[in-house]
Amino acid sequence: MADKMAGSRAGLNVGVQAFAAVVLVGGVTGGIWGVSRVLPNTNGTDRPATCSEGRGTPSAKRVSGAQLCRALNRSDLPALLGTPQEHARTADGDDGWITLDGGTKIASPEANVTLDTYSVKLSASEDQFSVSQGLDLLPKAEPRQVLGHTAVLYSDRTVALTLGSGKAESGPGGIARSLLVARDAKDGGGGSFEVTVWRQDEGVPDDAALFRVAETVLPTIPGWKSG
């Protein structure tokens, strides 16, 4: 898949006359997430969205976007978020790459699940930086622990996008809350996982919900090292 960049993915439904979404800008992986990921489920049913199997051949050496999607898109995700009456409207995984200064590329797979109230992103990074370094690199980052692993809690900004009448408009959105968590308890620079939540109504996300999701989902991901 092409490197991640600002902008929306191709293939938006041309029949969509008007649509409002709240998406994340910036963060560790950067870029604007594809608007098509947060379009409502239009398959004619009200069943929870399911993850696709993804494209390409999975690598035994790294987690894939499809694996992240299956880990995140749990039946109890709405309850973990505090909205048990809801269900997943969209769910997908993406196997992207980030190009660093100097041309080095690192895998940056991610998954996104959207409900009526919340959207959740789960991503993995193969970089060699320790999570504790995020305290110096991320705005107003706070040290935390998740299941005995070093973690950093921080906020980011969303942008509200409106599509209609053949044009797109954007404006300031709400706050997203993110947990960057080391894959192993030693935080030796062996990669990290990140969980981000934000609300569709631009309200402030519940940190307790973020921690519930992280503590439940992370141990189920290939590459997570307990103890």
The domain limits of the chain are: 19-50+61-220
**How confident is the model at residue 22, as a pLDDT?**
59
**How confident is the model at residue 164, as a pLDDT?**
66
Chain Cα centroid distance, residue 100? 20
The radius of gyration of the chain from alpha carbons, rounded to an integer in Å, stands at 17
Q: How far apart are CA 191 and CA 183, in angstroms?
A: 6
Residues contacting 193, CB < 8 A, separation 6+:
122, 123, 124, 125, 180, 181, 183, 218, 221, 224
In order along its 227 residues, the chain shows pLDDT tens digits of 434 432 222 222 333 334 445 566 544 333 334 444 444 444 446 789 999 766 545 566 789 999 999 999 999 999 999 999 999 999 999 998 888 778 888 888 999 999 999 999 999 998 888 999 999 989 889 999 999 999 999 999 887 776 666 677 777 778 999 999 999 999 988 899 999 999 988 899 999 999 999 999 999 999 999 87
**How confident is the model at residue 99, as a pLDDT?**
83
| 164: β partners | 18, 167
**How many Cα atoms are found within 13 Å in the side-chain-facing hemisphere of 109?**
25
